[in-house]
Every structure is written in C-alpha cells, then in structure tokens.
Amino acid sequence: MAFNVGSISTYVDQLKQELITASVLQGETLNLISVIPGIKYSEALNQLSNTISVQNATCGFTSNGSLALSQRNITVTALEVKEELCPKTLEKYWMGQKMKPGTPKDATFEEIFSKSYVEKINEFNEMTLWQGNTSSTGNTYCKFDGFYALLTGETSKIQLTGTSSGVTSSVAFIDAVVAKIPAAILSRNDLYIFMSYANYVVYVQNLRALNLYQFTSGDMGTNYSTKVPGTTITVKATHGLDGTNYLVATYAENLIAGCDLENEDEKFSMLYDPYQDNVKVNIQWKLGAQIAFPQHVVTNF
C-alpha cells in the first residue's frame, strides 16, 4: 500500500479559507477578545474621550467641556510555516500506525495533517498573544509583542502594589484584584481575570476549601472559568499564561488581536510535487496584538 497524496491539492484548495480562519481565530483567547480583520500591516485604533460640563441654562452660547481624540496603532506580523514531507518516510511509520480511538474511519490523511497544523498554529498564536516579546530574540514567541510586553512599562495601567511579578491564587488576593478594577467598567459583563491553568486550579481549590458552596461536587467551573463570588467577573485560565505567574484583569473587548484574512498572501496549502516526490506545506497568516485602554487593566507586573 502506497501513501496516497493524490487528493491533497484538491482537499486543501476546497477548504483553504476555512483552514486559514481556523488557524487564526479558533484559539482560546481569540474566542473571547476583540479581533480586527483586514489589517494589511498597521492600522490606527481611534479612541474618543468625551468630557461634558453641565451648566445652568442661560441665553447665548458658551462652550464647555472637551472631546479628545487619540489613537493607538496595531501592527500585524506576517508569519509562515514551510515544510517538506517525504511520502517514502511516511510509508514506514504513518501507514503502520493505528488511528487514535475515536478518530473517524473515513478521515483522510491530509485532513488529519491539516488539523494537526491548525492545532499547533493555535497554540503558537495563544502563547504569542500573551507572552510574545520582540526584544527577546531567542524566545520562540518573539515574532510580535503580546499583551505582557505591551503592558510592561505602561504607566497608565493599574499595578497591584508589592506583588512584583508574583501572584498568589488565594481568595484574598483575587479579591484585592477585584478591588482595583476601575468602578467605571465594573458594570461590564465581559470582565475577566486571566491567569495560568496552574494558578486557576489553586484558586478553585482555595475557594472550595472555604466551603462557601460555590461548587457542586467535582465542579471546577465551565472550561476552566468561574465567577468571583458576588460579582460578574470571570476568573479564566489561559494556556497563554502557562509557565508564568502573571495576571491580567480587564474586559475582553479591551484586548485586541489584529489579522488580515482578506489577503491573497495568506494561504494554507499542502501540495504534492511529483518531480521531487514530496509534499510541500506552505501556511501563511498575519497576527498582532494591542491594548485599547491600558488604564482599564489591572496587573501584577
């Protein structure tokens, strides 16, 4: 039995845009935050701040108050994955492997390969959105600045005093974070406290130990997220903060990811080259991050 690559071109061509979209938009964080498509390179995020001055009504016209316009730029970075796969090598290993339990019997190999690439790109995007740092060139996630790098040194953010970069998942600590969230945004229904999975688990354990009846038996919250008791604020675990003790509290719409998804340069192709007898993988996409209003972010760094 030979490794069948004859349908790879047709399969990927039919689902090209679907696969690109899945690669860029189906990450854990990207499902929650603001995503702005159609950015070719850099785009200004226009912001408006209106201050009115209410006066007693009189005859005549006296101007009061102010309307301030400002901008923050978001830049997307062009990224790519290029690989060559040798069918002869695959014949020795892949064809002899059994499918994982639950894998559809009719799933083609190119479909499985494509899903694998989508999952890995999702993982890369998730980590870079949070931990990306262009000044750390030896880092895997140095392609663009993520939320941590954008907030580091940002003077308008709200920093918890005396915490440095450490975090404790005690109930009292999270309550202290909540107390720092500006009153102006407390009524929003998309407020989150983002943290690593490890810290989330500790927080839930601490809540359970207090026996405040937040949980039913065995419950850890839906999708590793739970409400801070007595509030609409969601404590959310994200793999993008795994390996760190960083914590970010803000409303989801305040975190912005920029992408393109409208450019012919973006592609997801797996093509068999009969002359070199290999499969060429060429995946290209764009992604960038920005904080709309840093003054509405509470951090411990």
The predicted model gives 123-142 an average pLDDT of 91
Q: For position 89, what pLDDT does the model report? A: 67
Of the given ranges (21-35, 83-97, 109-123, 237-251), which has the lowest mean pLDDT? Answer: 83-97
The length of the chain is: 301
Q: Which secondary-structure segment (H or E) carries 110?
A: helix 109-131
Q: What is the CATH number of domain 1-49+67-98+106-301?
A: 3.90.1690
Asked if residue 235 lies in contact with residue 193, where contact means CB atoms within 8 angstroms, the answer is: yes
C-alpha to C-alpha distance for 65 and 159, rounded to whole angstroms:
30
The domain locations on the chain are 1-49+67-98+106-301
Asked if residue 134 lies in contact with residue 35, where contact means CB atoms within 8 angstroms, the answer is: no
Q: For position 79, what pLDDT does the model report? A: 95
C-alpha to C-alpha distance for 283 and 80, rounded to whole angstroms:
5
User: Does residue 178 or residue 5 have the better pLDDT?
Assistant: 178
Q: pLDDT tens digit string along 160-217?
A: 876 666 678 889 999 999 999 999 999 999 999 999 999 999 998 898 888 766 555 4
Ramachandran angles phi, psi of 64, nearest 5°:
-135, 160
Residue 1 has pLDDT above 50, yes or no: no
Q: Which secondary-structure segment (H or E) carries 210?
A: none
